[in-house]
Amino acid sequence: MKFSKDMTIKEALQVDSRSAEIFLSHGMHCIGCPTASAESIEEAAIAHGIDVDALLDQLNAL
């Protein structure tokens, strides 16, 4: 597993830039905003009403 709930969106993008496609497909357009540096994947998923475990499954399938 290379992605985790506590990882920030910015960190996720640094691990694999293809993660942007997954975030965008879920309506998470925060990849370019300042919040991406401070908000964890879990916090962003909750804010967008997304199942964080399903999101992590998609990210870790990259």
Q: How far apart (Å, rounded) are the C-alpha atoms in residues 15 and 18? A: 9
Q: How far apart (Å, rounded) are the C-alpha atoms in residues 44 and 41? A: 5
Reported pTM: 0.89
Q: Which residue carries 């908000």 as its tokens?
A: 39
pLDDT of residue 31: 81
pLDDT along the chain (62 residues), means of 10: 93 94 91 85 95 97 96
Q: How far apart (Å, rounded) are the C-alpha atoms in residues 62 and 39? A: 21
Domain ranges of the chain: 9-60
Taking the mean position of all CA atoms in its chain, how far away is CA 34? 14
